[in-house]
Amino acid sequence: MVNTNIRRMALIGRFQPFHNGHLLLVRQILKESNEVLVVIGSAQMNYTFENPFTVGERILMIRAALIEGEVDLSKIIIVPIVDEEDNAVWFPKLVSMLPPFEVLYSGNKLVVTLASSHLEVKSPKFVNRKRFNGSYIRYKMVRGDKWAHLVSKSVFDIIYSMGGIDRLKALAKHENLENYKMNNLKRTISLRNKIR
């Protein structure tokens, strides 16, 4: 029999990787709901610097981090969702792919725009969003900076055991990100000097 008294909320993210900010957010949502749908967006994307990990790898990371964080997995449903090219049909497709939910958490402006006319959308209240940010963590990994404190030990172990750091370095080199970043840095410094 289906429990109709469940207050269910959805959290959408790419989780590239699932970091401690995501874990804190899941805990926050569980204080407001009985169940959390952890929706893995861009499920079909992998092996790019922006989306280095496969959906299967992300599911392993999320599950391991939640277990390590002592989150009750009976209150978590993990669902991968493939991107929809036609944004006008994205939300109806999302709803058809998920169990019913009342609130959607997303920091993505397009997601908020597409969903806000259908249900309540909340922006995540990340603790220290600058540090708990997938792009920031990926760049730290490539540069060889310390990043283990930004993810759970289990996520660190999964990334390390799969050769994730080498993968990111190869992807950054393949996508010529270092040159791109250096050019942006030079442009920013040049603009600052002109303003002074």
Tens of pLDDT, residues 112-160 = 888 888 899 988 776 666 778 899 999 999 999 999 999 999 999 999 9
**Cα distance between residue 73 and residue 77, in whole Å:** 8
pLDDT of 178 reads 57
Mean pLDDT value of segment 79-90: 90
Which is it for strands 35-40 and 8-13: parallel, antiparallel or unpaired? parallel
> What domain range is 68 assigned to?
1-196
Which tokens belong to 114? 């597409």
The pLDDT of residue 188: 46
For residues 157-178, one letter each, b for 16 or more C-beta atoms within 10 angstroms of the residue's C-beta and e for the rest, the string is ebbeeeebbebbbebbeeeebe
Q: What is the pLDDT of residue 106?
A: 85
The residues facing 35 across adjacent strands are 8
Instruction: Give the mean model confidence (pLDDT) for residues 94-122.
Output: 89
CA distances from 176 to 16, 138, 142, 172 (A): 19, 15, 12, 6
- Which residues are paired to 128 by β-bridges? none
Quote the pTM value: 0.84
Q: What is the pLDDT of residue 4?
A: 60
- Give the separation between CA 167 and CA 173, rounded to whole angstroms: 10
Q: How many domains does the chain have?
A: 1
Comparing CA positions, the residue from 30, 20, 26, 40 lying closest to residue 127 is 20
What percentage of the chain exceeds 90 in pLDDT? 62
CATH of the domain at 65: 3.40.50.620
- Please identify which residue in the block is written with the tokens 């000097």: 193
Least confident interval from 57-66, 88-97, 127-136? 127-136
Sheet containing 120-122: which strands, arranged edge to edge? 76-80, 35-40, 8-13, 103-105, 120-122
Residue 196 reports pLDDT greater than 60: no
Higher pLDDT, 127 or 171: 171
How far apart (Å, rounded) are the C-alpha atoms in residues 134 and 132? 7
Question: What span, in angstroms and rounded, lies between the C-alpha atoms of 110 and 27?
Answer: 24
Residue 180 pLDDT > 60: no
